[in-house]
Amino acid sequence: MTDNAYDMVKASLAADSLALGVHWIYDAGKIRSDYGRVDSLLAPGEDSYHPTGQKGGFTHYGDQTLVLLESVSRPGGFDLEQFFRAWQELFRGYTGYMDTATKNTLKRIAAGKDAKSCGSLSNDIAGAGRIPPLVLALRHDPDALEKAVRDQTRMTHNDEATVETAVFFARVCLACLDGKQPSAAIKEVAEQGFAGSPVEMWALQGLAAADRDSLDAVMQFGQSCHTGEVFSGVVQIIAKYETDPGGAVIEAVMAGGDNAARAGLVAQVLAAYAGMDDHMERWFDGLIEKERVQDLLDRIP
């Protein structure tokens, strides 16, 4: 294992911030015509889903990943109950966007559900995309990692395919941290751990499309936030650009739709394998929460 484990967390947050300014614009042509190639951090516009956001800030995905990073950096490491409380605290007076999964989870908490039963039925991949802090903190204990990954995902996204997707990407990141090429890691994990499941199908679909134009592939697989749509597009971009991490994240953003979830997943896998490139370093340097993130990372052995 290398220091790429720390870069994996930083890259996922940097990618989320890169997508912030054009998040959920489904018209990829509009992104290109209005913003050009999005290779620098942008402030969201007034008509954005994130009108209170600032250049260098996070979407609601990144904000939740930061809460998870704080949780794993505490003495004793990840604790579901502590994360459950901290996650709720994030959304008290929250001025950013709250998606349906968050709203429904909060409603279930208000109705008396606990950390293991409060999750919405959402199949949005965002719940699976928060995992880099867990992979970092528990990278030397795969069994504990998988339990924590399942617990944190199910807390807000109680959809079995989304939970298994989180486990899949955790295993892929571990393999990449151990030096396995991303496309090979994806194929191996899919075939050995998820044979016959939707996860295997989505992974192999993405790999089979690696030589295609990424925008065309994402348009075919789907631009939305739903796990069954996002997954194959993420894999396609990883496989096509596995030697160009920053370029891969830019392509993920330029494909529009839920580009924040897509970009975060692409970034975590490629940074786990190769660390952060110059693009990613520059985006991380521009984060409002850069110092806070680095301080939390410094607490994790």
Whichever domain contains 84, its CATH number is 1.10.4080.10
Where b means 16+ CB within 10 Å and e means fewer, 138-161 reads: bbeeeeebbbbbebbbbbbbbbeb
Q: State the Cα–Cα distance between residues 81 and 260, nearest whole angstrom.
A: 27
Q: What is the pLDDT of residue 2?
A: 53
Would you tell me how many other CB atoms lie within 10 Å of the CB of residue 265? 30
The count of other CB atoms within 10 Å of the CB of residue 301 is 7
The pair of three-digit structure tokens given for residue 271, joined into one six-digit string: 């940074």
The type of residue at 285 is D
Name the phi and psi angles at 211, rounded to 5: -90, 0
Our count of domains for the chain comes to 1
Domain span at 24: 4-298
What is residue 1's predicted lDDT score, i.e. its pLDDT? 42
Residue 176's pLDDT is what?
Answer: 98
Cβ 22 vs Cβ 42: under 8 Å? yes
Nearest to 159 by CA among 125, 189, 183, 199: 125
Burial class (CB in 10 A: 0-12, 13-18, 19+), 247: middle
Helix axes 60-73, 80-90, angle to 10 degrees: 140
Average pLDDT of adjacent 10-residue blocks, the chain of 301 residues: 87 98 97 97 93 97 98 96 98 96 98 98 96 98 98 98 98 97 98 97 98 98 97 98 97 98 98 97 98 97 93
**Coil, helix or strand at residue 157:** strand
Model pLDDT, residue 3: 87
Q: What is the pTM of this model?
A: 0.97
C-alpha 185/C-alpha 197 separation (Å) is 17
**Helix H or strand E segment including 6:** helix 4-20
- Helix 227-240 to helix 160-177 angle (10° resolution) is 20
- The two structure tokens encoding residue 297: 């990372």
